[in-house]
Amino acid sequence: NAGVTQTPKFRVLKTGQSMTLLCAQDMNHEYMYWYRQDPGMGLRLIHYSVGEGTTAKGEVPDGYNVSRLKKQNFLLGLESAAPSQTSVYFCASSYSDFLAGGPGNEQFFGPGTRLTVL
């Protein structure tokens, strides 16, 4: 099993350009998440999904959109990139609370995408 994979690993954009980050998981997880990691701030949740066809806003959703058309994929889009979106982006997935026996189930993380917006 590949676990959680992310594409691309690195990207440089100019201000105003758009791009889509792809996350894929092969563990049949219900929940998927997108985080951004900035120095001294830990990870902050951008958007998440509790199942195919559903999405919800996290802590810092502005400037991003997401889609979960297939259970195994979770896409993060930047319609008009800004320098403030320079960051490392991590995707994660987890089992539903029901299957995990309640809250506290582990989130499995991808290797990250390093994005620079000039």
Partner 1 sequence: GNSVTQMEGPVTLSEEAFLTINCTYTATGYPSLFWYVQYPGEGLQLLLKATKADDKGSNKGFEATYRKETTSFHLEKGSVQVSDSAVYFCALIRAGGTSYGKLTFGQGTILTVHP
C-beta closer to partner 1: residue 14 or 40: 40
C-beta closer to partner 1: residue 73 or 109: 109
| Total residues found in the chain within this entry | 118
Name the E strands within the chain: 4-7, 10-13, 19-25, 31-37, 43-49, 56-57, 65-67, 73-78, 87-94, 108-109, 113-117
C-beta closer to partner 1: residue 55 or 85: 55
2 part of the interface to partner 1, by CB under 8 A = no
Distance (Å, whole) CA 34 – CA 43: 10
Give the per-residue contact string, 66-95, with partner 1 (x = CB under 8 A; - = no): ------------------------x-x-x-
Give the angle subtended at the CA of 53 by the CAs of 81 and 64, to the nearest 5°.
15
33 part of the interface to partner 1, by CB under 8 A = yes
10 part of the interface to partner 1, by CB under 8 A = no
103 part of the interface to partner 1, by CB under 8 A = yes
Distance (Å, whole) CA 7 – CA 15: 20
Block residue for tokens 């992310």: 6
**Rounded least distance, CB 16 to partner 1, Å:** 29
Binding site for partner 1 (CB under 8 A): 4, 31, 33, 40-45, 48, 50, 56, 58, 90, 92, 94, 96-97, 102-107, 109-112
